[in-house]
Amino acid sequence: MAAYEKYQKGIFETADSVMPMYLRPSQAERNPPPAALPPPFARGTVRERQDFSIKNMTLEDFKSIENSLLTDFDDFWQPETLKDELMNKSSKYIAAKEGQNNILGFAGIWNGVYDFHITDIAVRKDLRNQGIGSMLLEKLIELAKQNKMETITLEVLCTNTPAIKLYEKFGFKNAGIRKNYYKGTQDAFIMTLNLM
């Protein structure tokens, strides 16, 4: 019977009765869209978020980023190296977090007698240039002053403009070059902040 005749006789087909029977799940079911990402932070607003904090980085924090360290943060260190660093008594690591264990970035130092040596600062790739690196560095400088350090030093790849700009913003000065420091081929600037 033609659809119009059915309509005239009051016979209606529902969506269910005409639904095609797929032999396999539809593409939409096989490849559901990714869960929506949280909205990005507006520049400078991270600090105002109620659940934002900068705290000592724990092994729990490490576990929550272990599998995404290389892809989402930085490929400078293998996860095992960061884990060893967290257990090293001469090191101190801090993490920028949202809530309990959503790690937005982290930073660490080696604790010398007169000098804090920054080992790494890494911010999640999708949250960079929004002030999180600055807040981590600010905290390290505060800790260095509390511990009566005279200097903070670090090495940075000569081509790493975002990092160099970050350090310069806080007054770090170029103190020399270490030739072939990274991977035996790439030069690093030595940068120092004098706290005295």
Ligand X SMILES: CC(C)(COP(=O)(O)OP(=O)(O)OC[C@H]1O[C@@H](n2cnc3c(N)ncnc32)[C@H](O)[C@@H]1OP(=O)(O)O)[C@@H](O)C(=O)NCCC(=O)NCCS
Which are the catalytic amino acids?
155, 167
Q: Per CB under 6 A, which region of 22-30, 64-72, 86-94, 127-135 contacts ligand X?
A: 127-135
CA triple 63-99-44, angle to 5 deg: 110
Q: Which of 61, 65, 82, 120: binder of ligand X (CB under 6 A)?
A: 120
Site string (69-108) toward ligand X, x via CB under 6 A: -----x----------------------------------
CA triple 39-43-49, angle to 5 deg: 65
Q: Per CB under 6 A, which region of 20-28, 33-41, 118-126, 175-183 contacts ligand X?
A: 118-126
Q: Which residue has the tokens 């993490």?
A: 95
Q: What is the secondary structure of 103-167 as a DSSP string?
A: EEEEEEEEE-SSEEEEEEEEE-GGGTTSSHHHHHHHHHHHHHHHTT-SEEEEEEETT-HHHHHHH
* Contacts of ligand X in 2-31 (CB under 6 A): none
Query: Counting contacts by CB under 6 A, is residue 169 touching ligand X?
Result: yes
Q: Tell me how far apart the alpha carbons of residues 157 and 70 are, in angstroms, rounded to a whole number.
A: 18
Query: Counting contacts by CB under 6 A, is residue 161 touching ligand X?
Result: yes
Residue closer to ligand X by CB (options 65, 132) is 132
Q: Which of 69, 103, 134, 172: binder of ligand X (CB under 6 A)?
A: 134
Query: Counting contacts by CB under 6 A, is residue 162 touching ligand X?
Result: yes
Q: Per CB under 6 A, which region of 15-23, 31-39, 132-140, 176-184 contacts ligand X?
A: 132-140
Q: Tell me how far apart the alpha carbons of residues 169 and 145 are, in angstroms, rounded to a whole number.
A: 18
**Whether the Cβ atoms of residue 152 and residue 195 lie closer than 8 Å to each other:** yes
DSSP 180: E
Count of C-beta atoms within a 10 Å radius of residue 136: 24
Q: Which of 58, 100, 129, 147: binder of ligand X (CB under 6 A)?
A: 129
Q: Which residues bind ligand X (CB under 6 A)?
A: 74, 120-123, 128-134, 154, 156, 160-163, 165-166, 169
